[in-house]
Amino acid sequence: MTYCSKRQFFSLIATGVLLTACGGGNDEPRSKDLYAAYEVVTEGMSLTQLTTVIGFEPAGNRADENDITIYTWVADEGSYLETRLHVNVQAGYGVVGKTVLGPNGSKTASYL
């Protein structure tokens, strides 16, 4: 093997190690950032708009009083990073409140 061939060989090996160490080729989806989603959810948004800006369907919902349904999105369920976003949607109006809970603390906003 010549000096150039050895250099190219070691360069190729180093690139492979670097890609592996940096996660190159890993196609697993990244965690959903529900704290960022909380910041873009605004008063009056519809469920369709919520699903679009959050990026995935809610994990569940439950009816509350005054024609309000609380939708819940969950990220990293079962891990120490578990985060929940609860959004209150009033029928015929849209978002009237939101809460995010997780490892970075909690935030709440009400538009009633």
pLDDT digits (tens, 9 = 90+) for 71-110: 999 999 999 999 999 999 999 999 999 999 999 999 999 9
Residues 41 and 94 in one domain: yes
Residues 58 and 17 in one domain: no
Are 108 and 41 in contact by the 8 Å Cβ rule? The answer is no
Confidence at residue 15, expressed as pLDDT on a 0 to 100 scale: 43
Residues 40 and 22 in one domain: no
User: Average pLDDT, whole number, for the chain?
Assistant: 82
Residues 48 and 96 in one domain: yes
Are 73 and 81 in contact by the 8 Å Cβ rule? The answer is no
Q: Which of 14-23, 34-43, 83-92 has the lowest mean pLDDT?
A: 14-23
Residues 17 and 72 in one domain: no
Confidence at residue 17, expressed as pLDDT on a 0 to 100 scale: 40
| Domain hosting residue 72, numbered range | 34-110
Averaged pLDDT for residues 44-72? 95
Residues 55 and 83 in one domain: yes
Number of neighbours of residue 54 by Cβ within 10 angstroms: 22
Averaged pLDDT for residues 39-65? 95
Q: How many structural domains comprise the chain?
A: 2
CA distance 15 to 49: 42
Give the predicted TM-score (pTM) of the model. Answer: 0.72
CA distance 75 to 103: 11
pLDDT at 11 over 70: no
| β-sheet with 83-90: strand ranges across | 60-63, 68-75, 83-90, 94-102, 105-110
Residues 66 and 43 in one domain: yes
Residues 23 and 54 in one domain: no
Residues 18 and 57 in one domain: no
